[in-house]
Amino acid sequence: MKKGEHPPGVVIADTATKLGADARGGVIVTGSHGGRYAAYLTLSALPRAVIHNDAGVGKDEAGIAVLAMAEALGIPAATASHASCRIGDAEDSALRGLISFANALGGALGVYPGMPCREAILRLLPAEPSGRRPEPCGEVRHVIENHAKKRIVLVDSASLIDAADAGQIIVTASHGGLVGGDSKMALKADAFAAVFNDAGVGMDDAGIRRLPALDARGIAGLTVSAASARIGDAASAFGEGIISYVNAAAAGLGACPGEPLKSRLLAWMNLP
């Protein structure tokens, strides 16, 4: 299997937020983490099987939530180790990734930890789509208002950021990797600051590659440790997250690794 060459029925998607009609009934290989919201998106496409990035597994094993969610719907699922391939890069997952976990249905098809993803993809192709949809996700966007100064916007996925969030503090539970390696996709709005989950950092430091891209736009960028907050859960990032990495813009505003995210952002709310 070479780059760009995949068997019929295999869908390569750098992000679960941009799946097309061809995803239905396919084996979806996505660069997205395996957390709740990203899993909801791939499973809603009614695939025959899915492979996500394990995002360092992290707090409460949030990075591999897709396994149980898929199992409950009769869908084989596996995750690629964040240490073996770049998060946000589905081609890299397919060609270089190694399986870290598989659910029981994936295991029944011969998928096991340590197997190259390219081999796992072939073993998942015989699966039949279950046709069952996941339960709708709960609240995925919440705003902490501050009418005098900046507000804090909590979104479970960076795809939920909109133009009105420009100039605000955005806490997204997405990974801090560049989707498809494209720096233009680092953030959809010119925010004051943006927070991501470091997804265990992983291969080629992929989990924190948005930070320098945000520096180039004058946006303070931070990540919280995957071990401290559930990936895919912005409320967890804000309430429990411990800062793991900062870019130059964030450091210039006093942010540093090891401090609680919440206290830092509450202080920033009142900046001019």
Tokens at residue 228, please? 């401290």
Q: For residue 4, what pLDDT is reported?
A: 66
22: phi then psi, degrees, rounded to nearest 5: -70, -10
Bridge-based pairing of strands 10-13 and 141-144 is unpaired
pTM of the model: 0.94
Q: For residue 2, what pLDDT is reported?
A: 61
Q: Domain extents for the chain?
A: 10-124, 141-268
Q: How far is CA 174 from CA 136, 155, 226, 264, in A?
A: 18, 9, 11, 19
What type of residue is 1? Answer: M
Residue written as token pair 């989707």: 179
The proportion of the chain whose per-residue pLDDT surpasses 90, expressed as a percent, equals 89
Lowest mean pLDDT, pick from 8-17, 39-48, 179-188, 197-206: 179-188
Q: For residue 181, what pLDDT is reported?
A: 87
92-106 pLDDT per residue, tens: 999 999 999 999 999
127-163 pLDDT per residue, tens: 999 999 999 887 789 998 877 689 999 999 999 999 9
Q: How confident is the model at residue 16 (pLDDT cuts 50, 70, 90)?
A: very high
Mean pLDDT of 37-44: 97
Total count of residues recorded for the chain = 272
Q: How confident is the model at residue 184 (pLDDT cuts 50, 70, 90)?
A: confident
Tokens at residue 143, please? 């705003």
Mean pLDDT of 168-194: 94
Contact 79, 67 (CB under 8 A): yes
Q: How confident is the model at residue 1 (pLDDT cuts 50, 70, 90)?
A: low
Q: For residue 3, what pLDDT is reported?
A: 66
Q: Three-class SS of residue 204?
A: helix
- Residues 167 and 50: their CA atoms lie apart, in Å, by 36
Q: For residue 132, what pLDDT is reported?
A: 97
Q: Is the pLDDT of residue 180 over 90?
A: no
Strands, sheet with 193-197, edge to edge from the N-terminal-most edge strand:
141-144, 152-155, 169-175, 193-197, 220-224, 243-246
- Residues 81 and 90: their CA atoms lie apart, in Å, by 12
213-264 pLDDT per residue, tens: 999 999 999 999 999 999 999 999 999 999 999 999 999 999 999 999 999 9
Residue written as token pair 């001019």: 272
- Residues 159 and 245: their CA atoms lie apart, in Å, by 22
Q: Is the pLDDT of residue 270 over 90?
A: no
